[in-house]
């Protein structure tokens, strides 16, 4: 049964973005596709097959269940788990996660001695790949640079572990604070130099996010991780002329009811909107449970029949109202474009983020579980071979 809400994912645009970003890389630099948070809300089961077919060498997720889901849809290449996933008090839960890491051949992130020690206890038939994360200045997860040499020695001293990568993460994704970017890059290079004598051959060094992939080739090293840009959104407006990115998401619903209200009639909870003229109101089955947040009440536009209709009244949990008075031929069943793939429209991801005072990541990641994600782009419709 089809959902009232469909996220149309243009996988041809996704592959276009992948290729546009890849074209900025030197030969031999690998591409890691960030697929955490259900591919930033776009649907990992739709996105992953297209990127796998396009040739992305690695995927990155935040949790073990996310990685297992990628294996289930047939992602056969390395999957880097970014979270400190063994840092749980329950020993049984920790063992279950460790078993999944081994069973599915996942690459674990380590950022302290405890993580190394817990991984080293695993009775694995094959070495477990690990990437050491360094905190170069963001102040979040990551080992302090001064501890890097000892951690590398500890990893290499564990017979069942293989040091496969060393990485870090920039704190200023849009690179407005260029001093911090320069400092983090310098710290990363200094740390790599300090541990270089202890690294095995073939270690993957990576730090570049979307902004660094676009503007900072000296940060590409052996691999890049351009998440936001891969989905078609620029980290900052000044980067738009630098690379041709195409947003891949179009969120649609339909008009489920039309009613005529007289002037002076309340619309929605809290009486935040009162009609000032006879108004043709359309009801749309979408609400804040679906990620169309309450803050868009009386503040957003949707596209209907090529025109724009304002959201009126409070967005509620499952429904909202739009003003169809000036929209021609709109009736029950008429498609409503809630999020437009055209970046120039007032209901694009970027425009909604600006209106909400947030970032595109949050707009797409909030999209809820009732939304059906479908590939409409000609790439990735075929699910990869399913793994048990």
Break the chain into its structural domains and give their ranges: 11-231, 249-375
Alpha-carbon span 68 to 319, nearest angstrom: 34
Supply the pLDDT for residue 181: 95
Catalytic residue among 36, 133, 231, 292: 36
Supply the pLDDT for residue 227: 96
Calculate what percentage of the chain has a pLDDT beyond 90.
93
User: For residue range 195-252, what is the model confidence (pLDDT) as tens digits?
Assistant: 999 999 999 999 999 999 999 999 999 999 999 999 999 999 999 999 999 999 999 9
pLDDT at 34 over 50: yes
Supply the pLDDT for residue 383: 36
Fold category of 11-231 in CATH? TIM Barrel (3.20.20)
**79-90 mean pLDDT:** 96
* 36 catalytic residue (yes or no): yes
The HSE-up count of residue 122 (CA atoms within 13 Å, CB side) is: 28
Catalytic residue among 123, 133, 167, 269: 269
pLDDT at 101 over 70: yes
- The DSSP bridge pattern shows strands 223-224 and 30-34 to be parallel
pLDDT at 292 over 50: yes
CATH number belonging to the domain at 249-375, selected among 3.40.50.620, 2.60.120.10, 1.10.760.10, 2.40.37.10: 2.40.37.10
pLDDT at 388 over 80: no
Runs of H (alpha helix) within the chain: 11-22, 36-40, 44-54, 64-72, 91-103, 113-120, 148-156, 178-195, 210-215, 227-230, 349-356, 360-365
pLDDT at 386 over 50: no
Say yes or no: do domains 11-231 and 249-375 share a fold: no
pTM (two decimals): 0.94
Q: How many CB atoms lie within 10 A of CB 265?
A: 15
Q: How confident is the model at residue 91 (pLDDT cuts 50, 70, 90)?
A: very high
Q: Which two tokens stand for residue 15?
A: 């592959």
Calculate what percentage of the chain has a pLDDT beyond 70.
97
């Amino acid at each position: 049964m089809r959902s009232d809400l469909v996220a149309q994912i243009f996988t041809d645009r996704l592959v276009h973005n992948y290729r546009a970003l890849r074209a900025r890389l030197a030969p031999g630099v690998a591409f890691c596709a960030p697929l955490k948070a259900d591919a930033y809300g776009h649907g990992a089961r739709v996105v992953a097959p297209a990127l796998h077919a396009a040739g992305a060498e690695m995927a990155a997720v935040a949790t073990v269940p996310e990685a297992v889901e990628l294996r289930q849809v047939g992602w056969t290449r390395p999957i880097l788990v970014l979270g400190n996933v063994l840092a749980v008090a329950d020993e049984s839960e920790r063992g279950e996660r460790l078993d999944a890491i081994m069973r599915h051949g996942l690459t674990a992130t380590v950022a302290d001695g405890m993580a190394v020690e817990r991984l080293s206890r695993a009775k694995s038939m094959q070495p477990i790949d690990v990437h050491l994360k360094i905190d170069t200045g963001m102040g979040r997860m990551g080992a302090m640079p001064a501890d890097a040499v000892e951690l590398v020695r500890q990893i290499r001293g564990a017979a069942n572990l293989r040091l496969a990568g060393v990485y870090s993460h920039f704190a200023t994704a849009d690179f407005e604070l260029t001093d911090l970017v320069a400092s983090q890059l310098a710290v990363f290079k200094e740390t790599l130099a300090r541990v270089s004598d202890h690294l095995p051959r073939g270690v993957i060094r990576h730090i570049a996010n979307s902004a660094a992939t676009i503007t900072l080739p000296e940060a590409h090293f052996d691999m890049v991780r351009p998440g936001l840009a891969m989905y078609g959104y620029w980290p900052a407006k000044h980067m738009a002329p630098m690379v041709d990115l195409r947003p891949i998401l179009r969120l649609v619903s339909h008009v489920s009811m039309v009613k005529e209200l007289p002037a002076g009639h309340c619309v929605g909870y809290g009486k935040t909107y009162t009609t000032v003229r006879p108004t043709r109101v359309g009801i749309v089955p979408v609400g804040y449970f679906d990620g169309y947040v309450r803050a868009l009440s009386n503040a957003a536009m949707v596209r209907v029949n090529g025109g724009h209709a304002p959201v009126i009244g409070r967005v509620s949990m499952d429904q909202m109202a739009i003003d169809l008075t000036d929209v021609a031929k709109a009736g029950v069943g008429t498609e409503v474009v809630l999020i437009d793939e055209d970046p120039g429209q007032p209901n694009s991801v970027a425009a909604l983020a600006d209106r909400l005072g947030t970032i595109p990541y949050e707009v797409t990641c909030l999209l809820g579980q009732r939304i059906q994600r479908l590939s409409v782009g000609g790439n990735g419709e075929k699910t990869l071979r399913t793994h048990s």
